[in-house]
Amino acid sequence: MKKTVLFSMALVAGSALAAPKGEITVWSWDVAAKALEATIPSFNKKYPDVKVKVVDLGNQNVYDRGLAGCAAGGADLPDVYSVENGEAEVFWARFPNCFVDLTTLGASKYINAFPAFKWTELSVGNKRYAMPWDSGPVVMFYRRDLYKQAGVSAASIKTWDDFIKAGQKVNAKFGGKVKMGVVANGQDDEWFRMLANQNGCFYFDNDAESVTINKAGCVDALNTIKKLYDAKVVQTGDWGGQITAFKKGDIATSMFGAWYEGTIRSNAPELSGKWGVFPMPAAKKGGVRAANLGGSALALPASSKNKEAAYAFIEHALATNEGQVAMLKQYGLVPSLLASAKDPYVNQGQKYWGNQKVWKTILDTLGDVPAARGTQFFQEARQVMVVTQADFISGKYKTAKEALDAAAKQISSITGLPIAK
Amino acid sequence: MLRLRQNLVPYGFLLPYLLIFLLFWAYPLVRSLFDSFDDSRILGFSFSTTNWTRLLSDPFFMTALKNTLLIMVIQVPIMLMMSLTLAIALNSQMLKLKGFYRFAFFAPLVVGTTAYSAIFRLIFNTQYGAVNQGLNSIGLPSVDWLNQATPAMIVIMLAMTWRWMGYNAIIMLAGLQSIGNEVYEAAAIDGANKWTTFWKITLPLMRPSILFTLVLSVFGTLQLYTEPALITAGGPGNATMTIGTYLYQQGFRSFNFGYASAIAYGVAILGAVVSWIQLKLLGSDNT
């Protein structure tokens, strides 16, 4: 009896110096969750005594339960929490004590290891509440075989007008059965965000001080979506619908953040070699052909019982080439760790993509992405925009400007931020 | 002394319930009223009436209110008429296998809400759903059920009708069976035909059970959340957003608990108004 007490006291005393051990839980979603799982083997080589359990709750659920957990003073939260950059700020604004400031655990040495724009939404003053993970440079994933059959060449699609012309050719060839994309109209406003960001416009300005959703770049973005619908080159569908559509060959193109590469590859292994990638079409000739959609970070809830092990996991997955490149290889998550872009893997042709060097194509757009900031009002602005876009597509407004003026007014009254002059 | 102790006995029995009532009912009621005057954009409590002014000028709230009332005015009466028809059919002398039918119409209620919502999503899927396949097989075009405003609303109403029609029919059936046979015999002697008997006897005597199902359905609709949240997620756009889903969105997604509390009190006021109208219209007796 006495012996065991002594023995366990020795354990307690030793644990401050020894390697982390015990079990940690990680919350994430879809491909991101699988990617984190892919880093566990190399993590366990370094830390054999830590057991990592990744739970895939689905994207919206992670957010909802995270907020609810913070509101309940840190109850029901995991040890490592995935958060999208765009919607991260609401956490730090409303619950400044819900997550650990990672600089207290030694994250300061990584500040220059990531691009500055990835830190913006994760920092408050000198505090850094989460570590950057991936980014979502937007590209077009296309079916080489279907393009070829319709007589369309990906290289000739330089503007959205070219894209519509290509879509009409595809329509003519397949009798309208194959579309050039799936828009989650009525469910989400991803297309609007991608196109607006490409035009250097977003819900708010980058200082989070005014509403900018009715500026010219956003108006143009919304108009383009309407044009795509009017030309009948896109169909409507949600996340699951788009996966079904590309598996069945009902779409010849998918526009998304580059992390969608893993979604396509893991859901449709049978289509290996039939896919390729090209940069987004520009608004007009010679315009920007890059945007960013999504991209996430990992945070460490203050209620975690095993912060050392949790931080070790975050550090290994995000701040080492080993972790980031493992996620890129298996699930196509684009590293925001600067050193990873130089990894030899990036310059290799990818078998699934017809031996195209897709990662080079994708990472080359990163430098052209206009900065955009979600702010703590991201979700609310998005809800307004989802409805505005659906209403505009269904013909409720005469012009895109009129629709976005209404949206700006509503977002302004919700957030208390003025509409930019 | 003894008397005092005896007087305390009933309170002793009530105490556990009272404590739970205070903690889980009274406290949240008061607290959310307090919260509805809090500007939740600022950390900590700061008194402001912005939530209330926003409620009155919020187009989303108006949409949610409109959708909720639309369901109340269209779906509830149609469903109750169907329930009444069903109850009379189930009560018929000619019907065989009564027990089986009663079970069959009551069964939807036993299915988990999440499961049935998922099934509805599947059967109304535009490309692969059973409903569109059926329409196509009789030469009709597909409908984009969940991605268009009116069809999505119809799906919600159908789902709710499917789930609650049998339940209400069973309540009405109980009312129907409590009507004594002698009334019908007397009517038959007076030479009343089937139709007159139904209008003059059956319906008036069933009033209590019909009113009961009406009140239940109206308040159920006011708080409607599950079906629009799980089948259509309030979409497309806000076409099927109800007060319940909007409250959830504001409270748990945008984290505006102050505003969500104001919405909740708005619903409570609305419920009070509806109750008052029901009492005025239908009289307070035998409800």
Q: CA A88 to CA A103: how far, in whole Å?
A: 17
* Predicted local distance difference test score (pLDDT) of residue B126: 84
Sign of CA dihedral A354, A359, A362, A368: negative
Greater model confidence, A52 or B182: A52
Q: Taking Cα atoms as reference points, which of A170, A213, A180 lies closest to residue A195? A: A213
Greater model confidence, A319 or B271: A319
Q: Has residue B276 got a pLDDT over 80?
A: yes
Phi, psi of A297 (to 5 degrees): -150, 165
Please measure the distance between the N-terminal and C-terminal CA atoms of chain A and give it in whole angstroms. Answer: 76
In eight-state DSSP terms, residue A342 is G
The rounded mean pLDDT for chain A is 91
- What chain B residue is nearest to A406 in terms of C-alpha separation? B59
Chain B residues with at least one Cβ partner in A under 8 Å: 40-41, 43, 54, 57-60, 127-128, 144, 147, 149, 233, 235-239, 249, 252-257
* Predicted local distance difference test score (pLDDT) of residue A338: 87
Q: Check CB contact under 8 Å for B255 and A416.
A: no
Q: CA A376 to CA A380: how far, in whole Å?
A: 9
Residue B167 CB neighbours (<10 A) = 18
Q: Has residue B277 got a pLDDT over 90?
A: no
**Closest partner CB to A390 (pick from B54, B237, B255):** B237
Share of chain B above pLDDT 90, in %: 46
In eight-state DSSP terms, residue B228 is I
Q: Taking Cα atoms as reference points, which of A356, A366, A312, A311 lies closest to residue A334? A: A366
Q: CA A397 to CA A401: how far, in whole Å?
A: 9
* Predicted local distance difference test score (pLDDT) of residue A18: 62
pLDDT band at A7 (very low <50, low <70, confident <90, very high): very low
Q: Taking Cα atoms as reference points, which of A347, A274, A275, A333 lies closest to residue A29? A: A333
Greater model confidence, A13 or A57: A57
Q: Taking Cα atoms as reference points, which of A36, A263, A252, A246 lies closest to residue A157? A: A252
- Which tens digit of pLDDT belongs to each residue from A359-392? 989 988 888 888 888 888 998 899 899 999 999 9
Q: Which residue(s) pair with A54 in the sheet? A: A26
- Which tens digit of pLDDT belongs to each residue from B199-215? 888 888 888 899 889 98
Q: Check CB contact under 8 Å for A71 and B239.
A: no
Share of chain A above pLDDT 90, in %: 76
pTM of the model: 0.78
Q: Please tell me the distance in Å from A411's CA to the nearest CA on chain B.
A: 11
User: Angle at CA A217, nearest 5°, toward A212 and A221?
Assistant: 110
In eight-state DSSP terms, residue A370 is P
Q: CA B59 to CA A406: how far, in whole Å?
A: 11
Task: Choose, out of A124, A397, A413, A415, the residue to mutate when testing the contact with B (most B CBs < 10 Å).
Answer: A413
Q: Taking Cα atoms as reference points, which of A131, A203, A224 lies closest to residue A372? A: A203
SS3 B60: helix
Q: Both tokens of residue B74?
A: 């269209």
Do A120 and A89 form a contact (C-beta atoms < 8 A)? no
Q: Which residue(s) pair with A131 in the sheet? A: A298
Do A217 and A196 form a contact (C-beta atoms < 8 A)? yes
Q: Has residue A13 got a pLDDT over 50?
A: no
- Which tens digit of pLDDT belongs to each residue from A239-259? 888 999 999 999 999 999 998
Q: Has residue A1 got a pLDDT over 70?
A: no
- Which tens digit of pLDDT belongs to each residue from B68-103? 999 999 999 999 999 999 998 888 877 788 888 888
The arrangement of strands across the sheet holding A80-84 comes to A50-56, A22-28, A80-84, A296-299, A130-132
- Which tens digit of pLDDT belongs to each residue from A385-411? 999 999 999 999 999 999 999 999 999
**Closest partner CB to B254 (pick from A96, A380, A391):** A380
Residues of B in contact with A383 (CB under 8 A): 60, 249, 254
* Predicted local distance difference test score (pLDDT) of residue B285: 55
CA atoms within 13 A on the CB side of B116: 19
Count of pairs with CB atoms under 8 A, one residue in A, one in B:
58
* Predicted local distance difference test score (pLDDT) of residue B188: 87
Q: Has residue B241 got a pLDDT over 80?
A: yes
**Closest partner CB to B255 (pick from A67, A391, A410):** A67
- Which tens digit of pLDDT belongs to each residue from A307-327? 999 999 999 999 999 999 999
Q: Which residue(s) pair with A257 in the sheet? A: A138
Q: Check CB contact under 8 Å for B253 and A185.
A: no
Place of tokens 């449709």: A268
DSSP B146-195: GGSHHHHHHHHHHHHHHHHHHHHHHHHHHHHHTS-HHHHHHHHHTT--HH
Residues of B in contact with A236 (CB under 8 A): 144, 147
